[in-house]
Amino acid sequence: MSHSGLDRLTSLQDEIHAAGGGWGAGARAAIDVPGFGGDPDGVGALARGWEEAAGSAEVALETLVAIESADVAGVWAGNAHNAAAEVVRALADEVARAAQAFRDVSAQLRAYGKGIESEQWRDRTGQAVLRESPIEGVDLRVAAHISARSHGEDLAVGLHDAATQARAHLLDEPYLAPVDDPYLTPVDNIVVANTGVLTPAMAVRASEALFKAPELVVGAESAELRAYLMKGLAAGYGAADLAHFEARIASHDAEWLEQHLSPLDPDRGPVTARRSRTPWSQGPLPTCVATSTVTARAEVDPIYALSITEGDFDKRLRAEQLRVYDGGRSWIQDALGRDGMTAGQSEQVANEEIGPRTGVTYENVALTEDVLDDVERAADDGYPVPFITADHQLVVTGHTGDQLQIYNPWGYTYWIGEDEFLDGSPGSVRLPRTG
């Protein structure tokens, strides 16, 4: 639907109301404004296609579940049983997610088609009513155009969320050398993606950097170990650093890796430190900017995370917070006894600590509704987005639908709605810019 049609109708609506609703040029012009496009029948056909795809995926899922539950251990030799079970489990999870995504898209398309059909009828009714009652008719047309635009925006958000979820579980094409011999096979990609360790942006960066240490990554004994090595690649590390990293973590299981290499738990409320009873928290110090920066970097940089969680966690975390805090402030603040850090200093430390490990540049931006869209897209791709509100820095770490996940350096995470986020009046955000 063209916004110019709605803009024109809104202008004519004001004119018709100001004239008391009499028949005249304004009413004639309002009749002539084109309606909005859209083919409800075509959208319905698309919805049925997605529904059929969901059904096909669910048939495949039933087969995979049967294979996973079958007692076939006797046919495998050595570690082959564990490897085969891992592949089947990952494929089953992937197909289950695909089936649900297909049904979600189908439902969104059905809702959109019905909405457009209803508003097209209301718009045509408004055109007819305009001849007898200009005010009522133009009001009907304006309401129909506004509602149609809203339906389109809802569909766009829903499809964007579906695409984000799909990217979150599929790695991009791996580095090929030669073209017909990829380092990671499609099955490898699915198994690694199924761990949930890599965000979409990490997956792209890791795939592009896989040539640095292909044997190390491909030879990893578990999907989780392979995923964290790829996360190290995404963070910009080379073969020597990765080899040292692998030697420190290779003997540990998936739970240990998660506890030491992933500070934030996206599925739970309060964040307790996985390595210690002390949370990833600023404690009593005025270090919200430094603490949120340190935690955000640890979330995208597993080698850095290990440097904090391996050993005396409390001491190492506090040392990193103070390093960033002291290094990011000016001597004038110290001389005047002013605590904390400014938005400009927050931008600087984000570019020094997080940017090099994510391949982006952070920029201070005033938060508006348009910028909120950029924040959500950044969170979808896996970039932490620091922001300041009421003299306290927090970080957007996730997004789904109209909800944002927030890390508070007081030591916990929580979900918040878009409206509540905007109503909180964040003074500024550090928006990641790629390219």
Task: Answer yes or no: do 163 and 203 share one domain.
Answer: no
Regarding whether 390 and 324 lie in a shared domain, the answer is: yes
pTM of the model: 0.67
Q: Using CA atoms, how far apart are residues 33 and 192, in angstroms rounded to an integer?
A: 53
Domains: count for the chain? 3
Does 45 share its domain with 164? Answer: yes
Is residue 375 in a domain? yes
Q: Domain check: are 220 and 251 in the same one? A: yes
211 with 120, same domain? no
Among 121, 139, 168, the domain-final residue is 168
**What whole-number distance in Å separates Cα of residue 387 and Cα of residue 251?**
38
Residue 273 lies in a domain: no
Whether 198 and 153 share a structural domain: no
- Tell me, yes or no, whether 108 lies in a domain: yes
Local confidence pLDDT in tens for the 435 residues of the chain: 445 788 899 999 999 998 887 778 888 999 999 998 889 999 999 999 999 998 998 898 888 888 767 655 555 555 555 566 767 777 787 788 788 888 889 999 999 999 999 999 999 999 999 989 999 999 999 999 999 988 988 888 788 777 766 654 544 443 333 333 356 665 566 666 667 788 888 888 888 888 888 888 878 888 889 889 999 999 999 999 999 999 999 999 988 998 899 888 655 444 444 444 447 888 888 899 999 999 999 999 999 999 999 888 889 999 999 999 999 888 888 888 888 888 899 999 999 999 999 999 999 998 877 788 899 989 988 899 999 888 899 999 988 878 888 999 988 888 888 888 887 766 789 999 876
Residue 29 belongs to a domain: no
**192 and 163 housed in the same domain:** no
Q: Judge whether 253 and 263 are in contact, CB under 8 Å.
A: no
Do residues 155 and 198 both lie within one domain?
no
Query: What is the residue range of 330's domain?
Result: 288-433
| Whether residue 367 is found in the same domain as residue 415 | yes
* SS3 category, 165: helix
CATH of the domain at 344: 3.90.70.10
What's residue 259's pLDDT?
A: 87
What are the backbone dihedrals phi and psi of residue 194, each rounded to the nearest 5 degrees, phi first? Answer: -65, -15
Residues 62 and 126 in one domain: yes
The domain boundary, picked from 261, 296, 312, lies at 261
**Alpha helix positions (H), 169-273:** 186-193, 200-209, 214-218, 223-234, 239-249, 254-261
Distances (CA, A) of 434 to 49, 144, 360, 428: 35, 38, 5, 19
Residue 275 counted as domain residue? no
Tell me if 249 is assigned to some domain.
yes
pLDDT score, position 413: 85
| 392 and 256 inside one domain | no
Residue 110 pLDDT: 93
Residues 306 and 378 in one domain: yes
